[in-house]
Structure 1
Amino acid sequence: METRKIPSGPRLAGAAAIALTAALAIAMGGPAQAAPNKPHPPNGPTVDIQLLSFNDFHGNLEAPGGSSGRLIVDHTLPAGATKPTDVTKDVGGVEYLATHLAQAREGHPYSLTVAAGDLIGASPLLSGAFHDEPSILAMNALKLDVSAVGNHEFDEGYQELQRMADGGCIDDGDGANNQNSCPDGTFPGASFDYLAANVVKQGTNQTILPAYVVKNIKGVKIGFIGMTLKDTPTIVTASGVAGLEFKDEVATANALVPVLKKQGVNAIVVLIHQGGVPGQQTWYHDGTAYTVNPSYDAACANGAQLDPTSPIIPIAKNLDPAIDMIVSGHTHQPYVCDIKDPAGNDRMVTSASSFGRLFTDTTLTYDRRTQDIVRTSVHSANMLVTRDVAKDPAETAIIAHYKELVKPIASRVIGQISGDVTRTQNAAGESALGDLIADAQLADPSVVGPYATPVIALMNPGGIRADLTYNASSWGEAPGDVTFEEAFTVQPFNNYLVSLDLTGAQIKQLLTEQWSGVNAGSGRKILQVSAGFAYTYSGTTLGAVTLNGQPLQDATTYRVVTNNFLAGGGDGFGTFLGAQNVYYGGLDIDAFAAYLTAHSPYTPGALQRITMQ
């Protein structure tokens, strides 16, 4: 691909310019300051290896906000309460992740950092506006060694994924379609190994990226096999996976074991973008057991286990016993679990949530005589990426640079409103902004895929973070103009839209979950709904539910669109986990922006979709 020079906007000056130069030198694989000398362990028969891992970063360079930037760390039972409440902590941000990883490596001369996919895709504006090039540079700067690909690495097709790995620029115009490749004229690609063992060009056995890599640290050889889930084509747009075949994960990895062993590599780790979901946690207070939402370190040691239907379990149970450890992802969940291999031995399986909020610190003993990992030595723990450490200066410089460059995209006017459109709910829980977002999701063509067109949209009110204000003018735009930045502030989490099949009975159960289960003691969580769908309720009793004026039928299947947070059972809406024919579309912000453009000037309608009896 050709390299091109594009004007990059205002330049940083002084100390910021020096910091950026140093940051890009590291990120682009140039000279970096040598690490301080550390004493090597004795040249004995065994060596302690450190493996640091994370997954599902999704381009979250800046510290994520809202629920995307928090994790449950504990529980408490307030005085007089009958149900415990979650204790959360704000975590994440690549500036802090890089610092935590650097601190964790101290005293560990045999250390590798790996990831299990979805480093990019479904990213915030700061990264997505530049085809996720900033995130690849950030991964280079934090010294990532190896990563598997995930399904979101295919959002823009496999050639774009290869460009992420190899470097080069694409001629997309200077900021056209909210994206601008190579604003500084070059992009070096990943300095780490991107692996895709089970993705081949259709009709061939030719992988689009390497299937494995062997890392040799002072004579210690460890093989890494990297894969995405075989069902990637069902959750990525058809254009993103055109011309590709996705092979079975177990068969692919097991076939590579003898290939590695022929090279004298007996220590093998699988990085796989597929995962599990922890069940509810049993939490004790004054000797009484309570069922609570799992904390980040609950599974599988502190009162929670993986749901037995988790897709990672049959994979882990059938991978060759020669594979010593599995680093997983995709479900955005935290867990550290032993799952028995086909020989009946425990094998560690880990996942570090998402968005850079956690990393997993694993220690393994390598036996030089067998050139293999001592399975019983493997110990893993998920570590919070707290924000009470110094920010990594290289990451800070990358972020500051791209924040300056993104201004033209952020200030673009995408539509108009005739007055304020707010998230203020009426007595029944409906809001004008909730109606707008639900309608935008229902109208988004990216969620259709191979299935029926959705007829209902459901949006969580907690995902609506700001109002659209008529007189707002951050960039000097006229009253009523809505900029892309304003729209993004309303929906800042970069969730992706998901369409799925639910029966009428399941939809009614979802509606009752607004005030039952974990939501019973925390106030109502009234889902915002699209035009044509309506229901009534009284207290905690659901009344009539209709679609286009006709009663919803319990046994009929309806196509529903929502965001990935709700589709994953977020906010206590566990019925979503029983959905069928799940299909992943584009980002919610893109649907929102497109709808505003097509319906300007937008005027809210009457709030009559949700009513109280």
Structure 2
Amino acid sequence: MPAAPRRTRRRTHALLASAAVLATAGALTAALPADAHESHHRPGRYQDVQLLSFNDLHGNLEPPSGSSGRVTELQPDGTTKTIDAGGVEYLATHLRQARQGHPYSITAAGGDLVGASPLLSGLFHDEPTVEALNKLDLDVTSVGNHEFDEGAKELARLQNGGCHPKDGCYTDQEFEGADFPYLAANVQDDKTGKPILKPYWVWKKKDVRIGFIGVTLEGTPGIVSADGVKGLSFKDEAETINKYAKVLQRQGVQSIVALIHEGGYPASGSYNYDCDSPGAGSGISGPIVDIAKNVTPAVDALVTGHTHQAYVCTVPDPSGRPRMVTSAASFGRLYTDTTLTYDRRTGDIARTAVKSANHVVTRDVPKAPDMTDLISRWNTLAAPIGNRPIGYISADIGNTGTESPMGDLIADAQLAYGRELDPRTSLALMNPGGVRAGLTYAAKGAEGDGVVTYAEGFTVQPFANTVNLQDFTGAQLIQVLKEQVSGVNTAAPKILQPSAGLTYTLDLTKSGADRVVTDSIRLNGAPVDPAATYRVATNSFLAGGGDGFPTLGQGTGDLVGTDDLSALEKYLTANSSAASPIAPPKTGRITVVQ
């Protein structure tokens, strides 16, 4: 396959006034090869290429709030401090300033740029975010799992443009699509046996060529709606990258970067932690380590994502040589600046000269005017919907802990809605990953304390899953609870949020499925009968067996209702008012033994 053509566009943004130079603590710099130092005497052989990268933006155009809008910075004396970060107005300024003085500069991303987005973007099927990314001069990105939230056809529309098939055009101009290629090398159409989007792309400037291969995690089908990936196969990340690295090399492209929407977990939560320093511990752990160790040495650097962590580390390639692996946290709070030293003689990257560091997207720089205008335009369209009150709360309803008040509230709402559809509905279960935020009593905006707006509800549940009813035996229900802590969820449990009436004990001193104490499982005070049938409400993601719950994909008597946010709105409207706001549910449905 030939290198994918890039749409021609002229960078129109003005270079903004210089700001204070960001700290580069944590930069990983190795010595240049001996002959590279001679480039001062032999100009032209070595060319530094700047690679700016970020990942997991999730449509956060406005500065994210709370902990989602802060990063932790390690200080020289070993203490840490937090810094407010993020917002596309500031990200644009930082990237534009970083490019100054770098005629060879590429901007790449590691997936999940859209999906699970705030209302400003999500309400419009993430068209605002794609428009912002175009203005950011993004060159290339891999797909992530959230790019499949609305299915492959919608992903193709984001790439190619056109009005939404159901909602139509939001403005008087047709959506133009992404002015950069989405790469999906390991996402195969089962009918054609080919990738659904371009597998790779080659950046060119004069005689410098760098290839990019993009993949998402092989486990994507287990964490998105089954309908979103129907007819698709997700192949092994390392095997796919190795396959297309050979293709690029046959085309004469020797410098290769992999964009991988899979990640790891650093030993420190500080963005500038040096995980390669002596005594730094394990550096990073998690899936990306095994992937990196199996990706061909022909690949010179790995830009990763998915885990929302910040790291700039080296992991040895199969030949034992260190290779840079980076991730810039999430929500546009950081960007990574990597220097790739290109050897014109070999066409390859001088690996020992690669250096990289994460930088904070601070909010002390001028806002990019074009991004401010973009946000204002879309906010004007969103305001009538987003500002509509849907309920009232008496205090914060948080989203932390094994069992969260917000998770319980959603489960209660789905149980109530399920009983409207079918009075036989016994309980509801909500996946923790589908609860994206809590509700704040003193929320920002002019709606007043305790008022829950549609925009705030959308932030909590942005996926537009439906509420589904299914029949399960008691034995199946018990198995579902055990799947929270066994199978693919053994190492990283996914504790379902239960509706009122379902109680049990989770004993974390045990291992595997035994952590769920079977004889403690009660429904409205009575033991769950393995032979009885129970009507269970879940969202469509869980009903398809998502998040490692295969038994939830085996229910019978399916009944599909409205979307989950509508169910939450109905519950808040029915159970709260300005005079009588709803209180946070008391947790304790799950008794945790540690």
* TM-score by shorter chain over 0.5: yes
- How do 1:427-466 residues align onto structure 2 when only pairs under 5 Å count? 435-440=408-413, 463-466=437-440
Task: State the secondary structure of the residue aligned to 1:296.
Answer: coil
1:376–1:598 CA distance, 2 compared to 1 (3 A):
same
1:609–1:153 CA distance, 2 compared to 1 (3 A):
closer
1:386–1:487 CA distance, 2 compared to 1 (3 A):
same
Residue 204 of structure 1 and its aligned partner are, at CA, apart by: 2.5
Task: State the secondary structure of the residue aligned to 1:127.
Answer: helix
Task: State the secondary structure of the residue aligned to 1:601.
Answer: helix
Is 1:71 the counterpart of 2:71? The answer is: yes
Contact 1:444-1:591 within 8 A present in 2 as well: no
Give the match for residue 330 of structure 2.
354
Q: 1:271-293 CA deviation, whole Å, 9 max, x = no partner? A: 011111123x4xxxxxxxxxxxx
Contact 2:262-2:305 within 8 A present in 1 as well: yes
Is 1:128 the counterpart of 2:116? The answer is: no
For residue 401 of structure 1, the aligned residue among 374, 377, 382 is 377
Is 1:317 the counterpart of 2:293? The answer is: yes
Q: 1:149-191 CA deviation, whole Å, 9 max, x = no partner? A: 1111111111111111111112424xxxxxx643233111111
1:333–1:391 CA distance, 2 compared to 1 (3 A):
same
Q: 1:477-522 CA deviation, whole Å, 9 max, x = no partner? A: xx99964135347x4998999x996649969xxxxxxxxxxxxxxx
Give the match for residue 158 of structure 1.
152
Q: 1:197-219 CA deviation, whole Å, 9 max, x = no partner? A: 11121142322111111111121
CA distance in 1, matches of 2:294, 2:407: 45
- How do 1:530-569 residues align onto structure 2 when only pairs under 5 Å count? 530-534=499-503, 547-548=522-523, 549=525
1:444–1:341 CA distance, 2 compared to 1 (3 A):
farther
What letter is aligned with 2:110? Answer: A
CA distance in 2, matches of 1:505, 1:483: 32
Contact 2:339-2:355 within 8 A present in 1 as well: yes
Contact 2:397-2:439 within 8 A present in 1 as well: no
1:391–1:314 CA distance, 2 compared to 1 (3 A):
same
Residue 35 of structure 1 and its aligned partner are, at CA, apart by: 7.1
Is 1:329 the counterpart of 2:305? The answer is: yes
Give the match for residue 514 of structure 2.
none
Q: 1:546-595 CA deviation, whole Å, 9 max, x = no partner? A: 64226899xxxxx9999x9xxxxxxxxxxxxxx9559999xxxx734422
Contact 2:253-2:347 within 8 A present in 1 as well: yes
Contact 2:159-2:178 within 8 A present in 1 as well: yes
1:96–1:560 CA distance, 2 compared to 1 (3 A):
farther
Task: State the secondary structure of the residue aligned to 2:574.
Answer: coil
Give the match for residue 12 of structure 2.
32
Give the match for residue 267 of structure 1.
255
Give the match for residue 228 of structure 2.
240
CA distance in 1, matches of 2:552, 2:341: 40
Task: State the secondary structure of the residue aligned to 2:83.
Answer: strand
Is 1:117 the counterpart of 2:111? The answer is: yes
1:156–1:47 CA distance, 2 compared to 1 (3 A):
same
1:316–1:159 CA distance, 2 compared to 1 (3 A):
same
Residue 535 of structure 1 and its aligned partner are, at CA, apart by: 7.8
Give the match for residue 346 of structure 2.
370
Residue 391 of structure 1 and its aligned partner are, at CA, apart by: 0.7
Contact 2:409-2:585 within 8 A present in 1 as well: no
Give the match for residue 305 of structure 1.
282
Task: State the secondary structure of the residue aligned to 1:213.
Answer: strand
CA distance in 2, matches of 1:438, 1:76: 46
1:142–1:505 CA distance, 2 compared to 1 (3 A):
closer
1:444–1:271 CA distance, 2 compared to 1 (3 A):
farther
1:439–1:153 CA distance, 2 compared to 1 (3 A):
same
1:277–1:592 CA distance, 2 compared to 1 (3 A):
same
CA distance in 2, matches of 1:75, 1:119: 30
Contact 1:435-1:528 within 8 A present in 2 as well: yes
Contact 1:298-1:304 within 8 A present in 2 as well: no
CA distance in 2, matches of 1:330, 1:361: 19
Contact 1:122-1:494 within 8 A present in 2 as well: yes
CA distance in 1, matches of 2:325, 2:350: 15
Q: Note the residue ranges of structure 2 that are not aligned, 5 or more in a row.
A: 1-6, 17-39, 419-425, 467-476, 487-495, 507-516, 530-535, 542-546, 554-562, 577-581
Residue 363 of structure 1 and its aligned partner are, at CA, apart by: 0.6
- How do 1:416-495 residues align onto structure 2 when only pairs under 5 Å count? 420-423=393-396, 435-440=408-413, 463-467=437-441, 474=447, 483-485=453-455, 487-488=457-458, 491=460
Q: In angstroms, what is the RMSD of aligned CA positions?
A: 4.8
1:150–1:454 CA distance, 2 compared to 1 (3 A):
farther
For residue 341 of structure 1, the aligned residue among 313, 317, 324 is 317
Give the match for residue 198 of structure 1.
186
Residue 411 of structure 1 and its aligned partner are, at CA, apart by: 3.8
1:254–1:598 CA distance, 2 compared to 1 (3 A):
same
Task: State the secondary structure of the residue aligned to 2:131.
Answer: helix
What letter is aligned with 1:69? Answer: G
CA distance in 2, matches of 1:85, 1:551: 50
Residue 31 of structure 1 and its aligned partner are, at CA, apart by: 7.1
1:221–1:531 CA distance, 2 compared to 1 (3 A):
same
Contact 2:248-2:254 within 8 A present in 1 as well: yes
What letter is aligned with 1:356? Answer: G
1:349–1:424 CA distance, 2 compared to 1 (3 A):
closer
Task: State the secondary structure of the residue aligned to 1:376.
Answer: helix
Q: 1:292-341 CA deviation, whole Å, 9 max, x = no partner? A: xx211225246353454x11111111111111111111111111111111
For residue 382 of structure 1, the aligned residue among 358, 375, 381 is 358
CA distance in 2, matches of 1:69, 1:404: 23
Contact 1:154-1:161 within 8 A present in 2 as well: yes
1:254–1:356 CA distance, 2 compared to 1 (3 A):
same
CA distance in 1, matches of 2:161, 2:199: 19
What letter is aligned with 2:336? Answer: T
Is 1:276 the counterpart of 2:270? The answer is: no
- How do 1:217-232 residues align onto structure 2 when only pairs under 5 Å count? 217-232=205-220
* Residues 68-77 or 47-56, more deviating: 68-77
Task: State the secondary structure of the residue aligned to 2:376.
Answer: helix
Contact 1:278-1:304 within 8 A present in 2 as well: no
Task: State the secondary structure of the residue aligned to 1:71.
Answer: strand
CA distance in 1, matches of 2:428, 2:412: 10
Give the match for residue 511 of structure 1.
none
Task: State the secondary structure of the residue aligned to 2:182.
Answer: strand
What letter is aligned with 1:190? Answer: A
1:197–1:486 CA distance, 2 compared to 1 (3 A):
closer
CA distance in 2, matches of 1:169, 1:162: 12
CA distance in 1, matches of 2:566, 2:179: 34
CA distance in 2, matches of 1:182, 1:599: 29
1:71–1:237 CA distance, 2 compared to 1 (3 A):
same
* Residues 404-413 or 389-398, more deviating: 404-413
- How do 1:206-221 residues align onto structure 2 when only pairs under 5 Å count? 206-221=194-209
Give the match for residue 560 of structure 2.
none
CA distance in 2, matches of 1:583, 1:367: 54
1:440–1:357 CA distance, 2 compared to 1 (3 A):
farther
TM-score by length of 1: 0.69
Give the match for residue 4 of structure 1.
none
Residue 143 of structure 1 and its aligned partner are, at CA, apart by: 0.7
Instruction: State the aligned residue count.
Output: 496
Task: State the secondary structure of the residue aligned to 1:165.
Answer: helix
